Structure 1
Amino acid sequence: MRRSSLLNQEQDDTEVNLTPMLDVVFILLIFFIVTTSFVRESGIEVDPPQASTAEVQSQASILIAITGEGDVWVDKQPLALSALGPVVARLQAERPQSSVVIQADKSSRSGRLVEVMDKLRQAGVDKIALAAQQP
Protein backbone atom coordinates (compact mmCIF):
# COMPACT_ATOMS: atom_id res chain seq x y z
CA MET A 1 0.00 0.00 0.00
CA ARG A 2 2.78 2.33 0.92
CA ARG A 3 4.56 1.58 -2.32
CA SER A 4 1.55 2.61 -4.48
CA SER A 5 1.18 5.94 -2.66
CA LEU A 6 4.89 6.58 -3.21
CA LEU A 7 4.46 5.93 -6.96
CA ASN A 8 1.47 8.26 -7.15
CA GLN A 9 3.44 10.99 -5.40
CA GLU A 10 6.34 10.61 -7.86
CA GLN A 11 3.95 10.85 -10.80
CA ASP A 12 2.45 14.05 -9.40
CA ASP A 13 5.91 15.58 -9.01
CA THR A 14 6.94 14.83 -12.61
CA GLU A 15 4.00 16.53 -14.34
CA VAL A 16 4.88 19.63 -16.35
CA ASN A 17 2.71 22.65 -15.69
CA LEU A 18 1.96 24.26 -19.08
CA THR A 19 -0.08 27.18 -17.76
CA PRO A 20 2.81 29.68 -17.50
CA MET A 21 4.04 28.77 -20.98
CA LEU A 22 0.57 29.27 -22.47
CA ASP A 23 0.31 32.63 -20.72
CA VAL A 24 3.58 33.75 -22.29
CA VAL A 25 2.48 32.55 -25.74
CA PHE A 26 -0.80 34.47 -25.52
CA ILE A 27 0.97 37.61 -24.31
CA LEU A 28 3.38 37.40 -27.26
CA LEU A 29 0.47 36.85 -29.65
CA ILE A 30 -1.30 39.94 -28.33
CA PHE A 31 1.93 41.94 -28.58
CA PHE A 32 2.46 41.02 -32.24
CA ILE A 33 -1.16 41.73 -33.15
CA VAL A 34 -1.06 45.17 -31.54
CA THR A 35 2.29 46.19 -33.03
CA THR A 36 1.55 45.03 -36.56
CA SER A 37 1.14 47.86 -39.02
CA PHE A 38 -1.27 47.35 -41.85
CA VAL A 39 -0.28 48.75 -45.22
CA ARG A 40 -3.05 49.72 -47.58
CA GLU A 41 -2.52 49.02 -51.24
CA SER A 42 -4.42 50.00 -54.34
CA GLY A 43 -4.06 46.55 -55.87
CA ILE A 44 -1.60 47.15 -58.68
CA GLU A 45 2.00 48.29 -58.86
CA VAL A 46 2.52 51.71 -60.43
CA ASP A 47 5.65 53.76 -60.98
CA PRO A 48 4.80 57.25 -59.65
CA PRO A 49 6.67 60.29 -60.90
CA GLN A 50 9.44 61.87 -58.81
CA ALA A 51 9.01 65.16 -56.96
CA SER A 52 11.55 66.75 -54.65
CA THR A 53 8.76 68.38 -52.61
CA ALA A 54 6.81 65.13 -52.00
CA GLU A 55 5.47 64.78 -48.45
CA VAL A 56 4.32 61.76 -46.48
CA GLN A 57 0.59 61.75 -45.81
CA SER A 58 -0.59 59.87 -42.73
CA GLN A 59 -4.37 59.80 -43.34
CA ALA A 60 -4.27 58.25 -46.80
CA SER A 61 -6.67 55.35 -46.54
CA ILE A 62 -8.37 55.34 -49.94
CA LEU A 63 -5.90 54.63 -52.72
CA ILE A 64 -6.71 54.89 -56.41
CA ALA A 65 -4.17 53.64 -58.94
CA ILE A 66 -3.98 54.64 -62.60
CA THR A 67 -1.83 52.35 -64.73
CA GLY A 68 0.19 53.40 -67.75
CA GLU A 69 -2.58 52.02 -69.97
CA GLY A 70 -5.21 54.15 -68.19
CA ASP A 71 -6.85 51.40 -66.10
CA VAL A 72 -8.25 52.52 -62.75
CA TRP A 73 -7.88 50.31 -59.65
CA VAL A 74 -9.49 50.77 -56.21
CA ASP A 75 -9.17 48.28 -53.33
CA LYS A 76 -7.38 45.70 -55.49
CA GLN A 77 -10.18 45.73 -58.07
CA PRO A 78 -10.19 47.25 -61.56
CA LEU A 79 -13.04 49.73 -62.01
CA ALA A 80 -14.72 51.43 -64.90
CA LEU A 81 -14.47 55.20 -64.71
CA SER A 82 -18.25 55.49 -64.42
CA ALA A 83 -18.28 53.32 -61.26
CA LEU A 84 -15.47 55.23 -59.55
CA GLY A 85 -17.62 57.94 -57.96
CA PRO A 86 -20.11 55.70 -56.13
CA VAL A 87 -17.41 53.27 -54.94
CA VAL A 88 -15.20 56.02 -53.50
CA ALA A 89 -18.21 57.79 -51.97
CA ARG A 90 -19.13 54.55 -50.16
CA LEU A 91 -15.54 54.06 -48.96
CA GLN A 92 -15.38 57.62 -47.69
CA ALA A 93 -18.70 57.23 -45.88
CA GLU A 94 -17.20 54.25 -44.05
CA ARG A 95 -14.06 56.26 -43.15
CA PRO A 96 -15.06 59.94 -42.93
CA GLN A 97 -11.64 61.28 -41.86
CA SER A 98 -9.82 59.65 -44.76
CA SER A 99 -8.40 61.32 -47.80
CA VAL A 100 -8.05 59.98 -51.31
CA VAL A 101 -4.61 59.49 -52.83
CA ILE A 102 -4.26 58.98 -56.57
CA GLN A 103 -1.24 56.91 -57.56
CA ALA A 104 -0.82 57.66 -61.25
CA ASP A 105 1.89 55.90 -63.21
CA LYS A 106 4.35 58.35 -64.71
CA SER A 107 3.59 56.99 -68.19
CA SER A 108 -0.19 57.48 -67.82
CA ARG A 109 -2.00 60.26 -69.68
CA SER A 110 -2.72 63.44 -67.78
CA GLY A 111 -6.18 63.43 -69.35
CA ARG A 112 -7.02 60.20 -67.51
CA LEU A 113 -5.86 61.76 -64.26
CA VAL A 114 -8.13 64.77 -64.81
CA GLU A 115 -11.07 62.47 -65.59
CA VAL A 116 -10.50 60.55 -62.33
CA MET A 117 -10.22 63.76 -60.32
CA ASP A 118 -13.41 65.07 -61.95
CA LYS A 119 -15.33 61.89 -61.00
CA LEU A 120 -14.06 62.20 -57.43
CA ARG A 121 -15.15 65.84 -57.18
CA GLN A 122 -18.58 64.93 -58.55
CA ALA A 123 -18.85 62.27 -55.83
CA GLY A 124 -18.20 64.91 -53.17
CA VAL A 125 -14.59 64.07 -52.37
CA ASP A 126 -12.69 67.20 -51.41
CA LYS A 127 -9.45 65.76 -49.95
CA ILE A 128 -7.46 64.55 -52.96
CA ALA A 129 -3.70 64.09 -53.10
CA LEU A 130 -1.36 62.86 -55.82
CA ALA A 131 1.33 60.29 -55.00
CA ALA A 132 4.95 60.94 -55.93
CA GLN A 133 8.36 59.56 -55.03
CA GLN A 134 11.17 61.56 -53.55
CA PRO A 135 14.28 61.38 -55.75
Structure 2
Amino acid sequence: MRISSTKARSIDSETGILPLINIVFLLLIFFMLAGQLSASDPLAVEPPESLSETLPEERRLTLFISDEGTMMLEDTEVALEQLGEEISGRLSQEESVDLEVKADSALESTRLVQVMSRLRQAGVEQVTLLTNSRR
Protein backbone atom coordinates (compact mmCIF):
# COMPACT_ATOMS: atom_id res chain seq x y z
CA MET A 1 0.00 0.00 0.00
CA ARG A 2 1.37 3.28 -1.04
CA ILE A 3 0.51 6.45 0.77
CA SER A 4 0.97 9.57 -1.22
CA SER A 5 0.45 13.10 -0.29
CA THR A 6 -2.45 14.83 -1.87
CA LYS A 7 -0.51 18.05 -1.80
CA ALA A 8 1.76 18.46 -4.83
CA ARG A 9 5.36 19.15 -3.92
CA SER A 10 6.61 22.39 -5.29
CA ILE A 11 10.29 21.99 -6.11
CA ASP A 12 12.03 25.10 -7.29
CA SER A 13 14.79 23.73 -9.47
CA GLU A 14 16.64 27.04 -9.71
CA THR A 15 17.40 27.43 -6.02
CA GLY A 16 19.89 24.60 -6.04
CA ILE A 17 21.80 25.80 -9.08
CA LEU A 18 22.08 29.53 -8.34
CA PRO A 19 24.91 29.19 -5.79
CA LEU A 20 26.80 27.00 -8.24
CA ILE A 21 26.43 29.60 -11.00
CA ASN A 22 27.63 32.32 -8.62
CA ILE A 23 30.74 30.32 -7.73
CA VAL A 24 31.50 29.58 -11.38
CA PHE A 25 31.28 33.27 -12.30
CA LEU A 26 33.45 34.28 -9.32
CA LEU A 27 36.09 31.75 -10.35
CA LEU A 28 35.88 32.99 -13.94
CA ILE A 29 36.46 36.58 -12.84
CA PHE A 30 39.32 35.52 -10.57
CA PHE A 31 41.14 33.66 -13.33
CA MET A 32 40.55 36.47 -15.82
CA LEU A 33 42.21 38.94 -13.45
CA ALA A 34 44.98 36.70 -12.16
CA GLY A 35 45.77 34.96 -15.42
CA GLN A 36 47.25 37.93 -17.29
CA LEU A 37 49.74 39.40 -14.81
CA SER A 38 52.57 39.88 -17.28
CA ALA A 39 52.60 40.97 -20.87
CA SER A 40 53.05 38.25 -23.40
CA ASP A 41 56.06 38.14 -25.69
CA PRO A 42 55.67 39.88 -29.07
CA LEU A 43 56.95 36.73 -30.81
CA ALA A 44 56.45 33.09 -29.99
CA VAL A 45 59.98 32.02 -29.10
CA GLU A 46 61.09 28.70 -27.67
CA PRO A 47 64.36 29.36 -25.78
CA PRO A 48 67.06 26.68 -25.63
CA GLU A 49 67.23 24.39 -22.64
CA SER A 50 69.90 25.04 -20.05
CA LEU A 51 72.49 22.40 -19.26
CA SER A 52 72.95 23.88 -15.81
CA GLU A 53 70.78 22.42 -13.08
CA THR A 54 71.03 25.45 -10.81
CA LEU A 55 69.41 28.80 -11.37
CA PRO A 56 71.59 31.91 -11.34
CA GLU A 57 71.46 33.72 -8.04
CA GLU A 58 70.12 37.23 -8.13
CA ARG A 59 72.34 39.26 -5.86
CA ARG A 60 70.88 42.17 -3.96
CA LEU A 61 72.80 44.82 -2.13
CA THR A 62 71.03 46.89 0.48
CA LEU A 63 72.25 50.34 1.50
CA PHE A 64 70.84 51.48 4.85
CA ILE A 65 70.88 55.21 5.67
CA SER A 66 70.00 56.45 9.17
CA ASP A 67 68.36 59.76 9.96
CA GLU A 68 71.79 61.20 10.88
CA GLY A 69 73.26 60.12 7.53
CA THR A 70 75.20 57.07 8.71
CA MET A 71 75.35 54.50 5.92
CA MET A 72 75.75 50.74 6.06
CA LEU A 73 76.27 48.71 2.89
CA GLU A 74 75.03 45.28 3.94
CA ASP A 75 77.01 44.96 7.22
CA THR A 76 79.85 47.40 6.48
CA GLU A 77 79.77 51.04 7.53
CA VAL A 78 80.58 53.33 4.62
CA ALA A 79 81.27 57.06 4.47
CA LEU A 80 79.83 59.15 1.63
CA GLU A 81 83.32 59.66 0.19
CA GLN A 82 83.95 55.89 0.09
CA LEU A 83 80.52 54.94 -1.23
CA GLY A 84 81.42 55.22 -4.91
CA GLU A 85 84.53 53.04 -4.55
CA GLU A 86 82.73 50.43 -2.46
CA ILE A 87 79.78 50.16 -4.85
CA SER A 88 81.91 50.05 -8.00
CA GLY A 89 84.05 47.34 -6.37
CA ARG A 90 80.97 45.26 -5.59
CA LEU A 91 79.54 45.82 -9.08
CA SER A 92 82.73 44.60 -10.75
CA GLN A 93 82.69 41.37 -8.70
CA GLU A 94 79.09 40.42 -9.51
CA GLU A 95 77.46 40.00 -12.89
CA SER A 96 74.07 41.37 -11.90
CA VAL A 97 73.39 43.29 -8.72
CA ASP A 98 70.16 44.97 -7.67
CA LEU A 99 70.75 47.87 -5.30
CA GLU A 100 68.12 48.65 -2.70
CA VAL A 101 68.26 51.82 -0.61
CA LYS A 102 66.47 51.82 2.73
CA ALA A 103 66.61 55.35 4.09
CA ASP A 104 65.09 56.71 7.28
CA SER A 105 62.05 58.91 6.74
CA ALA A 106 63.66 61.69 8.82
CA LEU A 107 66.73 61.84 6.55
CA GLU A 108 67.19 65.18 4.83
CA SER A 109 66.40 64.99 1.14
CA THR A 110 69.62 66.82 0.22
CA ARG A 111 71.62 64.01 1.81
CA LEU A 112 69.66 61.41 -0.15
CA VAL A 113 70.32 63.36 -3.36
CA GLN A 114 74.06 63.35 -2.55
CA VAL A 115 73.97 59.58 -2.06
CA MET A 116 72.10 59.05 -5.33
CA SER A 117 74.62 61.23 -7.15
CA ARG A 118 77.49 59.12 -5.78
CA LEU A 119 75.70 55.95 -6.83
CA ARG A 120 75.24 57.28 -10.36
CA GLN A 121 78.95 58.16 -10.54
CA ALA A 122 79.79 54.62 -9.42
CA GLY A 123 77.88 53.18 -12.37
CA VAL A 124 74.61 52.22 -10.74
CA GLU A 125 71.83 52.46 -13.31
CA GLN A 126 68.81 51.46 -11.23
CA VAL A 127 68.04 51.86 -7.54
CA THR A 128 65.04 50.55 -5.64
CA LEU A 129 64.01 52.87 -2.81
CA LEU A 130 62.34 50.77 -0.12
CA THR A 131 59.28 52.28 1.56
CA ASN A 132 56.53 51.25 3.96
CA SER A 133 53.00 50.86 2.66
CA ARG A 134 50.14 52.87 4.06
CA ARG A 135 47.64 50.88 6.05
TM-score by length of 1: 0.53
Given that 1:60 and 1:101 are in contact with CA atoms closer than 8 Å, whether structure 2 keeps it comes out as no
- The structural deviation recorded for 1:78 is 1.4
Task: Name whichever structure is richer in helix by fraction.
Answer: 1
- The structural deviation recorded for 1:122 is 0.5
TM-score by length of 2: 0.53
- The structural deviation recorded for 1:79 is 1.1
Distance 2:110 2:95 in 1: 28
How many residue pairs end up in the alignment?
78
CA RMSD of aligned residues (A): 1.7
- The structural deviation recorded for 1:60 is 6.2
Gaps of 5+ in 2: 1-57
Distance 1:99 1:61 in 2: 5
Q: Considering Cα pairs closer than 8 Å and 6+ residues apart, tell me whether 1 or 2 has the greater RCO.
A: 1
Gaps of 5+ in 1: 1-58
1:72 aligns to 2:71 (yes or no): yes
Q: Which has the larger radius of gyration?
A: 2
Q: Which residue of 2 aligns with 1:128?
A: 127
- Deviating 4+ runs (over 3 angstroms): none
Q: Which residue of 1 aligns with 2:89?
A: 90
For 1:1-135, list aligned pairs within 5 A: 59=58, 61-135=60-134
SS across alignment from 1:84: helix
Given that 2:63 and 2:99 are in contact with CA atoms closer than 8 Å, whether structure 1 keeps it comes out as yes
